[in-house]
Amino acid sequence: MLPCVLPVLAAALQSPLTRRAVMGSAVAASLSPPAAFADFSSGRTGADDYLQELPPKAKQAYLQYLPQLQLDGDFYVFVLQPLLTQPGKWDRIADLVLSTDIGSAASVSRLDREFVTPMRILSLAFPPDLGGEEMQESIDKFQSAMFSLARQARKSGTTGNVSGPSEKELKDVAKTWDTGRVALNEFFAAVNAGTQSDRLAPIPPNGQGYPRSERLYTQLMKDAALCRNRGGEALAGLWGQLMVYGTVPGVNPCGNAAAEYYAQGMK
């Protein structure tokens, strides 16, 4: 979860839709952004507190979901884009839209949990004149592109198939990924305009020249997995003090990537 992003997170969790999005977030459930993240997000310099002009619900939603949106952009570039040229792994693309519904053990897809639901909550929190309408339009485009991408991957992937995808199928998959990229950029641009910031970095064509760090993203994923295995930040911190798992007192058993990762783009 994100305990140091906003104290109002507990109240937000009363909403079933919000609770599902937050609880299912891959890294947000394990590692928190540094305290400085919230300090920065309330204004560039403290005096220039531009977020104070936002409606309260819009500000709350922005602070709560900005970390997840940063993760989404990085995933789209660092994980999803490289899969386009690896047909043998296209099942991982198709899995993004899969959900299960077996009795009471229902789950939403990763696409809904980590992308669409946070985006939709933000779009509903922002009034039309602050980008809410543009956000909603871009969500529909993005979701449609992702379903098309998953369908193409499922049809043409080499997992279990004798022959690989044709050149046309490879181009079609890349084109659909780019359609999703454009839609995601439109959403990011609407959020940045509504908050008078540039915290969400647009994704360049083919991901070339993307300004964020793949090294930090990869390390954050490793730290998140390690932290989950140690029971989350609270238990991991306790175990760290007891020198469990080879850690020593004063050493963060969940790793230190989160602070540097979330500091990207702070000015």
Residues 265, 134 share a domain = no
164-203 pLDDT, tens digit per residue, is 788 999 999 999 999 999 999 999 999 999 999 888 999 9
Q: Quickly count: other Cβ atoms within 10 Å of residue 155's Cβ.
A: 13
Question: Domain of 83?
Answer: 55-212
Do the domain assignments include residue 126?
A: yes
Residues 222, 208 share a domain = no
Residues 190, 117 share a domain = yes
The pLDDT value recorded for residue 51 is 81
Residues 224, 163 share a domain = no
207 sits in the region (left: phi over 0; alpha: psi -120 to 50; else beta) called: left
The pLDDT value recorded for residue 159 is 56
Is 50 exceeded by the pLDDT of residue 156? yes
Write down the mean pLDDT value for the chain.
76
Is 80 exceeded by the pLDDT of residue 9? no
Residues 195, 73 share a domain = yes
The pLDDT value recorded for residue 49 is 65
200-257 pLDDT, tens digit per residue, is 999 999 999 999 999 999 998 888 887 776 655 544 443 334 434 444 444 555 667 7
Contacts of 251 (CB under 8 A, 6+ apart): 240
Angle value at C-alpha 17, between 226 and 139, nearest 5 degrees: 90
Do the domain assignments include residue 138?
A: yes
Do the domain assignments include residue 23?
A: no
Residues 118, 93 share a domain = yes
Residues 230, 175 share a domain = no
Residues 166, 60 share a domain = yes
Give the number of domains in the chain. Answer: 2
The pLDDT value recorded for residue 70 is 93
In sequence order, which ranges of the chain are alpha helices (DSSP H)? 9-12, 16-24, 35-41, 56-75, 81-83, 90-94, 110, 117-125, 132-156, 167-195, 214-229, 232-241, 257-262
- pTM listed for this prediction: 0.77
Residues 231, 205 share a domain = no
Residues 207, 82 share a domain = yes
Residues 196, 116 share a domain = yes
